[in-house]
């Protein structure tokens, strides 16, 4: 799966630190700050500042939405996978993403918002999800590149969240990261198979997919640190542990070597090793494109949201029938017991 | 806005990772009834042979201690070091006891 610096993705009205009111609340706030400073975990029923709760709820729910929407671009290729083996792998991966969404919704629910409320926010366009899923999956090579680059970027982003100060989120992330590594490896292996044993056309298909996904992938880390106003507070609270630019750099440095072994080039003429920094320099990122896609104007925004809403609406009768069946069963049990 | 009463109830899931070990809490899920909760717990939490037995219990049936009482509840055990075997210094010859 996949997340980006969700703290950059729009705010709800009423956000912002409220003035502390009573002496009691001030004591609670002090104690909370001490626990954060000491590296303690915060649990669901512990006292927490309103702004901390809201920030987490926004980040975790948008992370959950990303997992669920992220099933769509890959689900698109299940019926067209080239072999039975690849189909089974892709099915397992998409099923994992659904599971990851569930872990995250469950973590967000502990903050006092129901699953239906969160889904409502997604379906009405109030909540965001990762911009990467608003790009189309045009060829089979896209499945490999999504695993390699998109899941690779997600892993880079998610590993530090395993140490998030909010324990239910940290626990969900540990479970997710454990399952994620298979996603990246299967993608790389699928590409390697085409690059080593494929036809010229298949090799070109891989390169084309890399060209299309490279820039959106490095945008997943969010805007540069100096344009990421909420990051400082999230760092202070231990919700975020490593900055956007640091993570992006780490990802690029790791990927360059992998691209070489795969036999593809990365579509950035300015990508060069900088001996002094002991890191790769890269060319400018088109942040206008990033903000445009986040704001709803990417290639597939309307299609993705439309598919989610349709699935939810079409499933309404199933949810209601299951609940009606359960109530009937309970009444029958009561009658029999009487 | 969806009607909250139409939401399937929340269940907590406990998984025994292998025979001989305790069931351990591993997460939660929504399901219409117990049978569905067990099936979904299998699909969600044991996709990689993480378990050989699953318990589910409706979340609102769990009674928990109050985090506000944490100090009052748990601190009294802090100064009772004599409840630990390491409190007792014994001669080396019998220290394995």
pLDDT higher at A1 or B75: B75
The two three-digit tokens of residue A192, written as one number? 């390697």
Q: pLDDT tens digit string along A188-246?
A: 999 999 999 999 999 999 999 999 999 999 999 999 988 887 788 888 899 988 999 99
Residue-level pLDDT at A229:
73
Quick check: A327 contacting B, CB < 8 Å?
Answer: no
Q: Which one is predicted more confidently, B45 or A3?
A: B45
- pLDDT for position A3: 52
Do residue B47 and residue A95 have CB atoms under 8 angstroms apart? yes
Q: What is the pLDDT of residues A206-221, one digit of tens each?
A: 999 999 999 999 999 9
Mean pLDDT of A293-300: 91
Q: Is the pLDDT of residue A8 over 60?
A: no
Q: Which residues pair with B10 in a beta bridge?
A: B30
**Cβ–Cβ under 8 Å, residues A194 and A205:** yes
Q: Which CATH class is domain B7-90?
A: alpha beta
Chain segment B22-76, per-residue pLDDT in tens: 999 999 999 999 999 999 999 999 999 999 999 999 999 999 998 888 888 888 8
Q: Is the pLDDT of residue A280 over 90?
A: yes
**B43: nearest CA in chain A?**
A99
Lowest-confidence segment of A2-6, A57-61, A260-264 by average pLDDT = A2-6
What percent of chain A has pLDDT above 70? 94
Domain boundaries, chain B: 7-90
Among residues 11-70 of chain A, which lie with CB inside 8 Å of chain B? Answer: 43, 45-46
The answer to whether the CB atoms of B33 and A119 lie below 8 A apart is: no
Q: Quick check: B44 and A119 CB within 8 A?
A: no
Chain A: nearest CA to B9, how far in angstroms?
9
Q: Residues near A115 by Cβ (< 8 Å), separated by ≥ 6?
A: A105, A109, B7, B30
Dihedral sign (CA A15, A17, A23, A26): positive
Strands B53-58 and B10-16, how do they pair? Answer: antiparallel
pLDDT digits (tens, 9 = 90+) for A130-177: 999 999 999 999 999 999 999 999 999 999 999 999 999 999 999 999
> pLDDT grade, residue A295 (50/70/90)?
confident
Mean pLDDT in chain A?
Answer: 92
Report whether pLDDT(A80) > 90: yes
Q: What is the pLDDT of residue B3?
A: 54
- What is the mean pLDDT of the segment spanning A25-39? 92
Name the residue in chain B with its Cα closest to that of A176. Answer: B45
């Amino acid at each position: 799966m996949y997340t980006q610096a969700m703290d950059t993705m729009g705010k709800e009205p009423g956000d912002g630190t409220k003035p502390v009111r009573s002496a009691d609340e001030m004591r609670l706030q002090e104690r909370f700050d001490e626990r954060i400073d000491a590296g303690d975990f915060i649990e669901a029923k512990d006292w927490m500042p309103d702004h901390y709760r809201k920030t987490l709820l926004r980040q975790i729910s948008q992370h959950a939405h990303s997992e669920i929407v992220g099933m769509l671009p890959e689900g698109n290729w299940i019926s067209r996978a080239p072999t039975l083996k690849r189909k089974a792998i892709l099915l397992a991966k998409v099923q994992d993403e659904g599971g990851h969404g569930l872990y995250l919704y469950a973590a967000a629910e502990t903050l006092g918002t129901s699953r239906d409320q969160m889904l409502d926010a997604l379906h009405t366009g109030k909540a965001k999800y990762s911009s990467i899923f608003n790009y189309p999956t045009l060829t089979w090579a896209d499945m490999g590149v999504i695993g390699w680059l998109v899941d690779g970027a997600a892993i880079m982003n998610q590993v530090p969240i395993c140490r998030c100060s909010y324990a239910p989120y940290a626990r969900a992330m540990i479970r997710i990261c454990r399952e994620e590594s298979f996603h990246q490896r299967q993608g790389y292996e699928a590409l390697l198979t085409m690059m080593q044993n494929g036809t010229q056309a298949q090799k070109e298909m891989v390169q084309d997919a890399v060209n299309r996904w490279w820039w959106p992938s490095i945008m997943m880390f969010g805007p540069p640190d100096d344009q990421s106003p909420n990051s400082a507070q999230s760092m202070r609270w231990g919700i975020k542990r490593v900055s956007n630019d640091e993570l992006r750099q780490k990802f690029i440095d790791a990927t360059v070597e992998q691209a070489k072994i795969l036999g593809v080039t990365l579509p950035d003429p300015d990508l060069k090793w900088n001996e002094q920094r002991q890191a790769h320099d890269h060319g400018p990122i088109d942040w206008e494109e990033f903000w445009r896609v986040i704001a709803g104007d990417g290639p597939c925004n309307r299609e993705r949201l439309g598919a989610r809403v349709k699935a939810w609406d079409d499933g309404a009768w199933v949810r209601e029938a299951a609940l009606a069946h359960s109530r009937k069963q309970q009444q029958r049990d009561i009658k029999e017991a009487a | 806005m969806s009607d909250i009463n139409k939401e399937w109830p929340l269940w907590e899931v406990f998984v025994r990772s292998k025979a001989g070990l305790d069931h351990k809490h591993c997460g939660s899920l929504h399901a219409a009834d117990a049978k569905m909760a067990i099936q979904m717990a299998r699909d969600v939490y044991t996709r990689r042979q993480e378990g050989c037995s699953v318990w589910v219990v409706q979340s609102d049936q769990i009674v928990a201690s109050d985090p506000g009482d944490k100090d009052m509840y748990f601190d009294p055990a802090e100064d009772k070091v004599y409840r630990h075997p390491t409190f007792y210094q014994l001669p080396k010859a019998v220290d394995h006891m």
